[in-house]
């Protein structure tokens, strides 16, 4: 057996994990990791009263220590960064500095290919940024990767990770470890080339944040029909849920209904006239109708095209 085949055939022990951050994603992920059998050693927060309070609350949930980068023991085998994108490189630099300080205290210098601690891997969960945001730790010898779950994490919601896809990009060794962790969490992982990361995140943004922007626009359109936003939200949920079910089971073309699939230009013209006093909703209606003309089965195309130019 060659050495190269060992990681694939002999499963390694799960690494202990330190989580950097104490926001919505960190709160969800740390608990999910703990529940999946991983040891959480530290919750690393910023050196501010508010951040430390949040770190202590999360640490108490998962049996970890609440620390800052300066006070962290950094005894975990893996660091998982759950901080805003703009903070990832700064946090990685701060922890790399702490590693160097620990090494100096022990009379050791940082070798270009060895981290002077148990730390071997570092992940971040940005959907837009590359693993190179963790270069300060890569320079210290850690294998690094980005591992982005295609899921929304907000306060008050508790989504399951069962079947959730994680996009992985980075060093081969770190992505192998990330793939194993994702499997333990019940998720699914796929490799994402660095050159595709921005396009991937644009798609991911459309799946939830911009979908919500569309739903808010629905509420505005409902105002033209005399409905409040709250009533519109409640009344639209059954058809939204059924549309998603149809999309999942039947695909987009067989799920498409309404005036466009019938080629009913007269009804579309009435819609546009009714929305004139709600220009933002009208603008979205036009954009989506034009998208339907490009990607869905639409009858009476020529007349509808003329109408949608208005």
The pLDDT of residue 107 = 66
pLDDT top residue among 154 and 109: 154
Residue 113's pLDDT is what?
A: 44
Closest of 76, 73, 61 to residue 22, by C-alpha: 61
pLDDT at 1 over 80: no
pLDDT the model gives residue 12: 61
Start-to-end Cα distance in the chain: 69
Computed over every residue of the chain, the mean pLDDT equals 92
pLDDT for 117 beyond 80: no
Q: Indicate the helix (H) or strand (E) that contains 58.
A: helix 49-62
Q: What torsion do the CA atoms of 30, 32, 36, 38 make, to the nearest 10 degrees?
A: 0
Give the CA diameter of the chain: 81
Distance separating alpha carbons of residues 282 and 299, to the nearest angstrom? 21
Query: Tell me, what's the pLDDT at 110?
Result: 54
The Cα 185–Cα 139 span in angstroms is 29
- Burial bucket for residue 264 (CB in 10 Å: 0-12, 13-18, 19+): middle
The predicted pLDDT at position 90 comes to 97
For residue 4, what are the contacts with CB-CB under 8 A and spacing of at least 6? none
Using an 8 Å Cβ cutoff, are 282 and 270 in contact? no
Bridge partners, 111 (sequence order):
114
pLDDT band at 108 (very low <50, low <70, confident <90, very high): low
Lowest mean pLDDT among 71-75, 191-195, 233-237: 71-75
Reported as a single tens digit per residue, the pLDDT across 127-186 is: 999 999 999 999 999 999 999 999 999 988 999 999 999 999 999 999 999 999 999 999
Q: How far apart are CA 217 and CA 139, in angstroms?
A: 47
Q: In 208-300, which residue ranges form alpha helices assigned H by DSSP?
A: 209-224, 229-250, 252-255, 259-262, 265-274, 279-295
Q: Cβ(138)–Cβ(114) under 8 Å?
A: no
Q: What is the pLDDT of residue 104?
A: 73
- For the stretch 12-50, pLDDT in tens is 678 999 999 999 999 999 999 999 999 999 999 998 999
Q: What is the pLDDT of residue 105?
A: 72
Dist. CA 207–CA 127, nearest whole Å: 13
**Please, what sign has the CA dihedral across residues 146, 150, 155, 158?**
negative
| Residue 249: other Cβ atoms inside 10 A | 9
Is the distance from CB of 95 to CB of 133 less than 8 angstroms?
no
Taking the model in full, what pTM does it have? 0.88
How far apart, in whole angstroms, are the C-alpha atoms of residue 220 and residue 236? 12
């Amino acid at each position: 057996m060659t050495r190269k085949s060992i990681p694939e055939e002999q499963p390694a022990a799960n690494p202990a994990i330190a989580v950097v951050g104490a926001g919505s994603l960190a709160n969800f992920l740390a608990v999910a990791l703990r529940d999946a059998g991983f040891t959480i050693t530290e919750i690393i927060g910023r050196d501010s009263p508010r951040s430390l309070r949040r770190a202590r609350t999360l640490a108490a949930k998962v049996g970890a220590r609440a620390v800052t980068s300066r006070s962290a023991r950094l005894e975990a085998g893996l660091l998982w960064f759950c901080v805003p994108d703009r903070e990832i490189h700064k946090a990685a630099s701060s922890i790399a500095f702490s590693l160097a300080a620990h090494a100096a205290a022990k009379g050791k210098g940082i070798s270009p290919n060895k981290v002077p601690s148990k730390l071997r891997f570092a992940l971040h969960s940005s959907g837009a940024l590359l693993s190179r945001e963790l270069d300060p730790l890569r320079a210290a010898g850690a294998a690094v990767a980005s591992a982005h779950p295609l899921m929304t994490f907000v306060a008050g919601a508790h989504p399951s990770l069962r079947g959730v896809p994680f996009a992985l990009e980075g060093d081969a060794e770190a992505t192998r470890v990330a793939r194993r962790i994702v499997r333990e969490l019940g998720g699914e992982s796929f490799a994402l080339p660095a050159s595709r990361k921005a396009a991937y995140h644009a798609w991911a943004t459309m799946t939830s944040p911009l979908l919500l922007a569309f739903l808010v626009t629905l509420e505005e359109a409902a105002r033209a029909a005399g409905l409040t936003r709250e009533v519109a939200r409640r009344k639209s949920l059954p058809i939204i849920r059924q549309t998603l079910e149809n999309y999942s089971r039947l695909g987009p073309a067989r799920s498409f209904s309404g005036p466009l699939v019938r080629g009913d230009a007269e009804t579309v013209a009435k819609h546009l006239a009714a929305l004139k006093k709600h220009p933002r909703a009208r603008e979205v209606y036009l954009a989506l109708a034009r998208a339907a003309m490009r990607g869905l089965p639409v009858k009476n195309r020529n007349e509808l095209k003329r109408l949608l130019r208005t």
